[in-house]
Amino acid sequence: MGNSIWVKMHGGTTHFPIALVMASVVFDLAGVIVPDSADRSRQAGFRAAGYYTLLLAALGSIGAVVSGLMISRGQLWGRGNLAHHHTFLWPAFGMVVALAGWRLVVGSRASHGAFKIYLAASVLTGGLMAAAGYWGGELMLNG
Amino acid sequence: MRIEIKGAFIGITAAACLLAGTFSLAQMLQYPRAGDSNATSPAQASPPQAAAALSEEGQKGHNLFDHNCAHCHGDDARGDEGPNLYNLRKSDARITAIVKGGIKGEMPSFAKKFNDGDIQALIAYLRTLKE
């Protein structure tokens, strides 16, 4: 399989985890901030949306990382913009998988305090994802 | 064990396992592929010119190449995703145009990143790549 197919796959797959992590953060924040409905289903709905978007982000990140490694032929760090990309990518990848694992185990049984810590970590993960995406774009557009 | 702590333990373990798997995959990909004409051993991958042998401008060009071009053209400039840059027969003007304008779908433009002096230094380095 030629390298160009991996470039296309990376371009196609890499946007899913970035967008889905952001969406998950927004849904989870909405689940805390937005006033609940009378039947208490509104906040639960937002949290469920945050849960599933995070799981999809974690799954999508695996495809994005594998295709990226195929492009760089296994470079874990590199130089210049590639190094900047990886500086944010590896922590973001680890965080999104860890958060998804936590969420899978805990589900809706998290205490308020634990969920606040989770929210702070997911906001940080969203920032890391955005930074990794920014430097990935710089790499593609400006080398 | 509180469910949150159990979840954190499992989440961190899953992340560590996936990162370990990813880094192992990366190690495997770093070995040259059989039949890859561009494949080189680590010993061959070192730059062809000793740093001391390069002019000041060539050294600057080498540094620019290292940080901006090597991840596509290879650490030794013998090609990877991008082509081998040894024995280039293109004129300085043509190289300048390619570096500034890029090649659609293949190579990004470096017009915003490199000034004319940078490109001259890069060309000075590329001219040292001869066999």
For B40-77, write each residue's pLDDT tens digit. 444 344 455 455 577 888 899 998 998 888 888 888 89
Q: What is the mean pLDDT of residues A77-89?
A: 88
What pLDDT sits at residue A71? 83
Distance, in Å, from the CA atom of B117 to the CA atom of B119, rounded to the nearest integer, reads 5
Confidence at B37, pLDDT banded by 50, 70, 90: very low
Q: Do A110 and B70 touch (CB under 8 A)?
A: no
Q: At residue A131, does pLDDT exceed 90?
A: yes
Flag whether residue B15 sits within 8 Å of chain A, measured between CB atoms. yes
CA dihedral B53, B57, B61, B62 (to 10 degrees): 20
Q: Do A98 and B14 touch (CB under 8 A)?
A: yes
| A13 within 8 A of A60, measured Cβ to Cβ | yes
The amino acid occupying position B5 is I
**What pTM does this model have?**
0.72
Distance, in Å, from the CA atom of B95 to the CA atom of A118, rounded to the nearest integer, reads 51
Q: At residue B33, does pLDDT exceed 90?
A: no
ipTM value for the complex: 0.82
